[in-house]
Structure 1
Amino acid sequence: MKIVGLMSGTSYDAVDVVAAEFTVEGDTLWLRPLGHRSLDHDEELRGEIGAVLPPAATTVEAVCRLDNRLGAVFAEAAAVGVELAGGAVDAVVSPGQTVFHWVDDGVVRGTLQLGSVARVAARVGVPVLGDLRAADVAAGGQGAPLVPAFDALLLAPEAGDAAPRAALNLGGIANITVVAPHAPVLGYDVGPANALLDAAARRFLDRPCDVDGAVAAAGRVHPGLLRLLLAEPYYAAPPPKSTGKELFHGGYLDDRLAALGEPVPVEDLLATLTVLTATTVAAECARHEVTEVVAAGGGVRNPTLMSRLAELAAGRWRLRTTDELGVPTQAKEAYAFALLGWLSWHGLPGALPSVTGAARAAVLGSWTPAGPAYRGGPAVAPPRRLRVRA
């Protein structure tokens, strides 16, 4: 089965596209990567997404326009995925752009992703899976993270394995999956990875990000600011938990700087935010006593962040990337969503209750049909009329 997976994360700078072929041999599912691309969002689209994100106010009109604009973008990305697969696929997974994750006293009440799935299905002519988080939320879960289903299979212990390992994703938010023999899989959002770094770069450098962590590398950690940031209650909350830019946004950073009451040079600010991410991630790895951390996501391209992580990992766990396991670091989440599509297609749950806190394991997403490739039951001829039988 060939599936295209799409992903636009909390950094909302691009849509990652992958094509994957899945085959089953006994109890092993084989993934053959067929290619991946990253298609950058233009400045106008990034501005439109940022304009609807909390804490900004917005309108239903703006949300509707953005939903359809993103749908067109994802449709073109899906077409690129079909090309990567050689011109034909069985399905597309388009999870959309998360614009709000409604958390009330630690309980997720709802979640909203934009990107008209009907436009994607119309463009590629195959069934498209969207709205992947809602089923888990309806079952009492966080609706996130969903990638641990992929991590659990990729890091599944072999006979004789005894130590826990972790998968780490460094996107806008850092999230971790802990896989240990004879134990439920754990996974949750740790805190900001690139979210606050990118917010600071936009605010003080007028750039979308600090490329290669170069400015952060020139700075020094500000101890007072770091203490203030580490006092965030989210870090102490027990899992299951999830977060996003509804908490860690530019306004959040402004509030902490105002509370500090003294100016912080931009290079020191970025250095401190880098260490914040490394410190919070390392604390969770130490808590679970992992022996290996396999990292992926945009943060892997930041050598300053990776070096801070490596310093904290020294002598405690091995740090490497998913590239060594055959999964490109920049495309891992898109491949994970392709896997969730395969699971859903076969009626298998994709969310892990031990991760999300749901009451039951949910089959994820809603399928949008497109053309004759999709059938929910046995083939029938189209009816010509409707009559009512008493």
Structure 2
Amino acid sequence: MTDIARHPDAPASPSHFIGLMSGTSLDGVDGVLVASATGQVLAEAYLPFPGDLRDTLMVLQAPSENELHREALAANALARVYADCVRELLAAAELPASAIAAIGAHGQTIRHRPGEFDGIGYTRQLNAPALLAELTGIDVVADIRSRDVAAGGQGAPLVPAYHQAMFSDAGQTRVVCNLGGISNVTILPAAATGQSVSGFDCGPGNALLDGWVARHLGTTYDDGGAWGASGHVDDALLATLLSEPYFRQAPPKSTGRDLFHAEWLEARLATVPGVSPVDVQATLVALTAQCVADDVLRYAPDCRGLYACGGGTRNHALMQAIAARLPGVTVATTEALGVPPQQVEARAFAWLAQRCVVRQPGNLASVTGAQGPRILGAIYPH
């Protein structure tokens, strides 16, 4: 590969990391370029998925015809979007590829079945890290979840280790809540409790909300949560949705579109006929808010501050619904702690890439249920 001229301000050895995240919302790629010495974000970028790639990724969430071929082509297409995002980050930071130690590229989860089948199960993140390394000229850290799964863990959520590093306060218990396609919480206990950090997936987030609004309004999301806010919660439907056994399962636990998909919703709608589309949307907002609030009250009753991140923070109806169910708890975004909510996940995977490169564990066994701390990720040199 052709050598890239070093930027005059670049360090003698690469010391920056890039984090890329495309989550279960399937909307696009968030990227950040981070200075590892300070944790400062030098550039951020967002690239939406092309419509055909998003459609293919949605289809690949479930078994389909010629699946292996379609997955391979989608992985290559995803790597090209990732590479475009990297190029935007480098241009914004005015740095060459040679200044970057590694890219943390999580990939796109298309199956998540830990603990099933043989007691280990599997998790599958569609990715083409070798192609990404070739396109960018930068080392890539990928396959970040599977080592935790191999050690008997859920492989998710992995971001709590970063939450602990960034957001813990010894004097109070905090909860960090990611409102992505799936909602999850990290519980950061006050030092006086003597408890370990915990975290798990609560249930559906934007995945069901976005799917329902796309079906009825033809848009990719409910802008500001306005449509859902104009409806009314149907108590019978909410009770039916909340009867899902996953919500009563004790952590460690994780989930995804393998469980919470359109067919899951349709099966429950069939038992409560006659609910208008806008009232279904309002009820889905209530479902997500209730799952988050119930888990905070159950597992972090001393919490006085919940800090949300992810795309769901832009759904004002959802944020208000969570706050209404947690009286006495300050509900804000991670902006209040110094990190914009859209950066948190990408920054976490830059952090995890750095941990892999320096051979330090990236998981929390208290969160995932793994047999112990593990170095996460496989390195694809450029």
What corresponds to 2:322 in structure 1?
A: 309
What corresponds to 1:101 in structure 2?
A: 112
Residue 178 of structure 2 is aligned to residue 169 of structure 1: yes
What corresponds to 1:48 in structure 2?
A: 56
Q: CA distance change for structure 1 residues 104 and 256 in 2, over 3 Å: closer, same or farther?
A: farther
Alpha-carbon distance between aligned partners in 1 of 2:332 and 2:202, rounded to the nearest angstrom? 19
Residue 258 of structure 2 is aligned to residue 246 of structure 1: yes
Q: Which amino acid aligns with 1:167?
A: V
Q: CA distance change for structure 1 residues 104 and 126 in 2, over 3 Å: closer, same or farther?
A: closer
1:19-59 CA-to-partner distances (Å, cap 9, x unmatched) read 11122xxxxxx411112111111211111111111265552
TM superposition shift of 1:157: 2.9
Written as runs of structure 1 = structure 2, the 5 A alignment for 1:310-325 is 310-315=323-328, 317-325=329-337
What corresponds to 1:351 in structure 2?
A: 363
TM superposition shift of 1:259: 2.2
Unaligned runs of 5+ in 1: 24-29, 371-390
Of 44, 56, 61, which aligns to 1:36?
Answer: 44
What corresponds to 1:128 in structure 2?
A: 140
TM superposition shift of 1:115: 2.0
Residue 269 of structure 2 is aligned to residue 264 of structure 1: no
Q: CA RMSD in A?
A: 1.5
Alpha-carbon distance between aligned partners in 2 of 1:327 and 1:140, rounded to the nearest angstrom? 32
Q: Which amino acid aligns with 1:141?
A: G
Alpha-carbon distance between aligned partners in 1 of 2:233 and 2:216, rounded to the nearest angstrom? 17
- Give the greater-gyration-radius structure (CA): 1
1:220-257 CA-to-partner distances (Å, cap 9, x unmatched) read 00011000000000000000000001111111111111
What corresponds to 1:379 in structure 2?
A: none
Written as runs of structure 1 = structure 2, the 5 A alignment for 1:50-129 is 50-54=58-62, 56=64, 58-87=66-95, 88-103=99-114, 109-129=121-141
Alpha-carbon distance between aligned partners in 1 of 2:223 and 2:276, rounded to the nearest angstrom? 18
1:318-372 CA-to-partner distances (Å, cap 9, x unmatched) read 11111122211112100010111111111110011000000021101000001xx
Unaligned runs of 5+ in 2: 1-14
Of 293, 309, 315, which aligns to 2:306?
Answer: 293
Comparing 35-44 with 360-369, greater Cα deviation is found at 35-44
TM superposition shift of 1:203: 2.1
Q: Is the 8 A contact 1:82 1:89 kept in 2?
A: no
Written as runs of structure 1 = structure 2, the 5 A alignment for 1:3-14 is 3-14=17-28
Alpha-carbon distance between aligned partners in 1 of 2:64 and 2:239, rounded to the nearest angstrom? 27
TM superposition shift of 1:120: 1.2
SS of residue paired to 1:284: helix
SS of residue paired to 2:343: helix
TM superposition shift of 1:128: 0.7
Q: Is the 8 A contact 1:17 1:80 kept in 2?
A: no
Residue 283 of structure 2 is aligned to residue 275 of structure 1: no
Q: Which amino acid aligns with 1:238?
A: A
1:190-211 CA-to-partner distances (Å, cap 9, x unmatched) read 0011111112112222222211
Q: CA distance change for structure 1 residues 237 and 216 in 2, over 3 Å: closer, same or farther?
A: same
Alpha-carbon distance between aligned partners in 2 of 1:51 and 1:257, rounded to the nearest angstrom? 22
Q: Report the identity percentage.
A: 39
Alpha-carbon distance between aligned partners in 2 of 1:274 and 1:126, rounded to the nearest angstrom? 41
Q: CA distance change for structure 1 residues 348 and 213 in 2, over 3 Å: closer, same or farther?
A: same
Alpha-carbon distance between aligned partners in 2 of 1:359 and 1:344, rounded to the nearest angstrom? 18
Q: Is the 8 A contact 1:18 1:84 kept in 2?
A: no
What corresponds to 1:387 in structure 2?
A: none
SS of residue paired to 1:279: helix
SS of residue paired to 1:142: coil
Q: Which amino acid aligns with 1:171?
A: G
Q: Is the 8 A contact 1:196 1:249 kept in 2?
A: yes
SS of residue paired to 2:271: helix
Alpha-carbon distance between aligned partners in 2 of 1:238 and 1:54, rounded to the nearest angstrom? 26
Q: Is the 8 A contact 1:20 1:35 kept in 2?
A: yes
Alpha-carbon distance between aligned partners in 2 of 1:104 and 1:56, rounded to the nearest angstrom? 23
TM superposition shift of 1:213: 1.0
